[in-house]
Structure 1
Amino acid sequence: MLVQRLTQQLGKPTHTVWGWMVKKFLETNGFLEASAVKLCDIQPENVVLELGFGPGLGLQEAVRRLTQPAGKLYGRDISEYMYNVASEKLRAEIQTGKVNLFWGSVDQIPLEDRVVDRVYHCNCYFFWPDLRAGCGEIRRVMKPGALMVTALQKLIATGLLKGTKWQPEPYMEALLETGFVNVRMEDQRIDGETFQATFASAKDVCSLNCRVLPALLA
């Protein structure tokens, strides 16, 4: 019963004792967020999106790298509680317009098409109600050639997420089906901590047109 309750709260923390416990747990787990940000190779002028940002540790890591005026950081989380926690933590950055946070599901991201350079998320894709819909929506907001990094703590997945489809294969398949390329998974070790990272790039439609148009005109 305890594991089941924790699993539910990890997927969508609420403003309860259980949600507070999950928040405290996530706040001790900042290495994964920091590692995902590092692997994204965020540039100072990039537009970046984090999904499932939780208490905002990854947001804090990412916004420090966005030193140019064009650099923007967006976040989307399904938990109203986590949205409120992170909004308070990044209040100054939100007030300047550098950071914008949204409360809601991954399959409805309030951004225009092809605006994001980097996407990252940690330990959350297995909570999405529809993998294909979520991946398709992320692909919609990414620029052609943009990079997404997914970080997964396998130990946590096998111990706390029983009953969820945490295995990366269905997720990677959904990425390929929705227009991602160069999808690969790697074991990573950063600062003595190990985890799995999945990399995926948004398909470059322009390069496809460059191959097709000359053939049509020949």
Structure 2
Amino acid sequence: MQSFKEAFSRHLRHPSTGPVGWLVKHILVRTNRYLEKEAARLLGIQPHDRVLEVGFGPGLGLQYALEHIGGDGRGKVYRLEISPEMIHSATKRLHRHIASGKLHLTLGNVMNLPYPDNSMDRIFHVNCYYFWDDLDQGCKELNRVLSPGGAMITTMDYKTLKLSIKRDLNAYADKYDPYAYMKSLEQTGFTGVRMEHLKDGVKDFEAIFACKE
């Protein structure tokens, strides 16, 4: 059982192939869908926006962000993913948007974002900041690529997160404290940092907002 828990935790942090990877992927699809949808909605995406999703999962938020962008606007959606398997999965599902030039997928790490300064208008991520090697460095990079006047949001289910850690199913989520994350946001130049406890139908979740002046 302990070896399964370790493998499950490892795939949560860095999704890959194999039976445990398949299980984690399907659990993420089921549990993250509403969080991805709410993040895209709360971000207030406009048709001309350049939107970045920083991800550690199936990339469900890409579809919602693309719906807000639409097909006629100048906006584009970018996805940074640490897992080649998740890049492959998103590429198969959203190949039409990639071919149209509206969607760009990149393999990389939030510690060193492969985007120019001030190149994104909106940024969102779901259930991933607590896996970053260095919170301050990750937040510093996100602030660097966000344009002045831009906004960022992360959504999470804090209750479920704490339960997964208690059950030893999320051993690598060692920076899960949202207040530590919010402190890093403020220290690296974000303003208007706040957390709201919200509800999507019957599901409770948390959203952390930040912007760049």
Q: TM-score w.r.t. structure 2 length? A: 0.91
5 Å matches for 1:92-131?
92-131=96-135
Q: Percent identity?
A: 38
Q: CA deviation at 1:200?
A: 0.3
Q: Does 1:151 align with 2:155?
A: yes
Q: Distance in 2 between matches of 1:135 and 1:45?
A: 24
Q: CA deviation at 1:13?
A: 0.7
Aligned counterpart for 1:5 among listed residues 1, 7, 10: 7
Indicate the residue corresponding to 2:206 in structure 1.
Answer: 196
Q: Distance in 2 between matches of 1:43 and 1:174?
A: 27
Q: Residues 73, 53 of structure 1: CA spacing in aligned structure 2 closer, same or farther, 3 A cutoff?
A: farther
What is the SS of the residue equivalent to 1:133? Answer: helix
- Residues 169-201 of structure 1, C-alpha deviation per residue, up to 9 Å, x if partnerless? 111111011110000001010122111110000
Indicate the residue corresponding to 1:60 in structure 2.
Answer: 63
- Residues 142-167 of structure 1, C-alpha deviation per residue, up to 9 Å, x if partnerless? 01121101111112211223542211
Indicate the residue corresponding to 2:93 in structure 1.
Answer: 89
AA partner of residue 199 (structure 1): F
Aligned counterpart for 1:174 among listed residues 180, 184, 194: 184
Indicate the residue corresponding to 1:183 in structure 2.
Answer: 193
Aligned counterpart for 1:72 among listed residues 32, 53, 76: 76
Q: CA deviation at 1:53?
A: 5.4
What is the SS of the residue equivalent to 2:112? Answer: coil
CA contact (8 A) 2:113 2:141 kept: yes
AA partner of residue 90 (structure 1): L
Aligned residue pairs: how many? 203
AA partner of residue 4 (structure 1): E
> Unaligned 5+ residue runs, structure 1?
205-218
Q: Does 1:19 align with 2:21?
A: yes
CA radius of gyration, larger in:
1
What is the SS of the residue equivalent to 2:21? Answer: helix
Could you list the structure 1 runs, at least 4 aligned residues long, displaced by more than 6 angstroms after superposition.
Answer: none
Q: Residues 53, 72 of structure 1: CA spacing in aligned structure 2 closer, same or farther, 3 A cutoff?
A: farther
CA contact (8 A) 1:26 1:55 kept: yes
Q: CA deviation at 1:70?
A: 1.1
AA partner of residue 8 (structure 2): L
